[in-house]
Structure 1
């Protein structure tokens, strides 16, 4: 147990999630992490778990709670990305995309809401620019991320009276290993369409999450777009 506030971050072992863990630790949180792939640098305790498994998430959340204490901040960042034409997306691929992104958010929210209500805490979901603008060969990913925004807005209304703030960030393509070197999002012709002419960086996204967790006391159901001006 700790006398510091406790944050729970999913997908905190790499990329944007790792930057979020680092930012919250710097703000005084002791951080637990749920990640399928391994431990998160800076996190006090990591549990390897598939966020699409509701029972496993509930058990992992209880483990973090018993080790660190009541959870006052939650950030759902676990996910994955792939591109495919609609006609090439198998039924299983559709289901997996929804289970991981949408199911992951709902499973973690259900497991942590009692703590968040008690602590009058905050939940931030990482969505995507594609949830707002869509994208070529991105239908299943955009659908899953768009559903996240629907949950965030509805849950924000549901729990605001309990003092819990629920918001989202919607990053554009971000400079992480998730984007392969030959990704079309890294192509100069795409970058030239962005007002900033570059990808976002994980620390930039993490700073927006940090703001919503720590300082955005009047933000409820908001979606902060961190996308180099791709969607304005």
Structure 2
């Protein structure tokens, strides 16, 4: 067990909730930022695309839990559309939530991570690596996360901070509708493992990067049932 503190965005459901469970099991005191936190413990309702709101929420949780040793950015959403149908507002919102949310949280927590020689893990997507049909704005936003992670890793390595990412494939969470093409049997049969990734499997990779991979920074772990090899 440990007396360390973690912050997880999007921690009320899906991959984020699985990460909260995994880090709690490792003894972390975990705070959660989520647009709809529900009954999640140590949670603050916040839109991660709002930099000022993120700074206030991070400060509130820091006062309650202590200085952060680990940060995991999992907040996000998914939608499909042909590139010709993606409005300017849709492009901007996708980038604000995914890339902007990561940047806002990183800037608010870097003083903590430098003090604790801590770790940040961003949740990207296998679409950031391989792209996808009718996924242009989502893949672009997630791809930008990978560029940011690698650059921030280089910038902070001298202070002992580790910055990494996981890139899940289609994961069995409520973000994938029952009729999603990612759930279709013909797609699943193309995957080497023939199934969706589970939130717990992604969380185990995040836990590893946070707790055990002390040698790793600027890396991307692909958790995708073999979709990207």
**TM-score bracket for this pair, using the shorter chain length:** over 0.9
The alignment status of 1:123 with 2:120, answered yes or no, reads yes
Deviation at 1:40, TM superposition (A): 5.6
- Partner of residue 135, structure 2: 138
Q: Secondary structure at the match of 1:71?
A: coil
- Partner of residue 94, structure 1: 91
Q: Secondary structure at the match of 2:69?
A: strand
Picking from 165, 181, 185, the partner of 2:162 is 165
CA distance in 1, matches of 2:77, 2:59: 25
Question: Runs ≥4 in structure 1, deviation > 2 angstroms?
Answer: none
CA distance in 1, matches of 2:39, 2:129: 29
Picking from 188, 193, 198, the partner of 2:195 is 198
Q: Unpaired segments of 5 or more residues in structure 2?
A: none
Deviation at 1:38, TM superposition (A): 1.7
- Partner of residue 144, structure 2: 147
- Partner of residue 36, structure 2: 37
Deviation at 1:118, TM superposition (A): 0.2
The alignment status of 1:82 with 2:98, answered yes or no, reads no
RMSD, aligned α-carbons: 0.8
Deviation at 1:39, TM superposition (A): 3.5
Confirm or deny: 8 A CA contact 1:15 1:176 kept in the other structure: yes
**TM-score if structure 1 supplies the norm length?**
0.97
Residues 168-204 of structure 1 show CA distances to partners (whole Å, capped at 9, x for unaligned) of 0000000001101000000000001100000000000
Pairs aligned (count) = 228
Deviation at 1:4, TM superposition (A): 1.6
**TM-score if structure 2 supplies the norm length?**
0.98
CA distance in 1, matches of 2:214, 2:101: 25
- Partner of residue 223, structure 1: 220
Picking from 182, 206, 209, the partner of 1:212 is 209
CA distance in 1, matches of 2:194, 2:39: 30
CA distance in 1, matches of 2:130, 2:12: 28
